Amino acid sequence: MKIEELEAAALRLDSKGRARLAERLLESLESLSPEENARIWAEEAQRRAAALESDGLTSRPADEVFREAQRRI
């Protein structure tokens, strides 16, 4: 099964099923070795940097994000 198919199937679950699946997936990440965790975060950082460089992603200053979050609380 391709990831897109799996994602589509997961999104068809009811909210309780999606929550259970999310919990199980998050728990599975807790058992990663420190090296594997670092590798995954490095890959994600590279993906985000490439998206920023290609204008596929926008960014905002952190202080602006925190102000907006505080305003919403």
Average pLDDT over residues 27-48: 94
pTM, full prediction:
0.55
pLDDT for 55 equals 83
Please give the tally of structural domains in the chain.
1
Q: Which residue has the higher pLDDT, 63 or 58?
A: 63
- On whether the CB atoms of residues 10 and 21 are closer than 8 A, the answer is yes
- 48: domain range? 3-72
Average pLDDT over residues 7-34: 96
Q: What percent of the chain has pLDDT over 70?
A: 100
pLDDT(56) > 80: no
- On whether the CB atoms of residues 28 and 22 are closer than 8 A, the answer is no
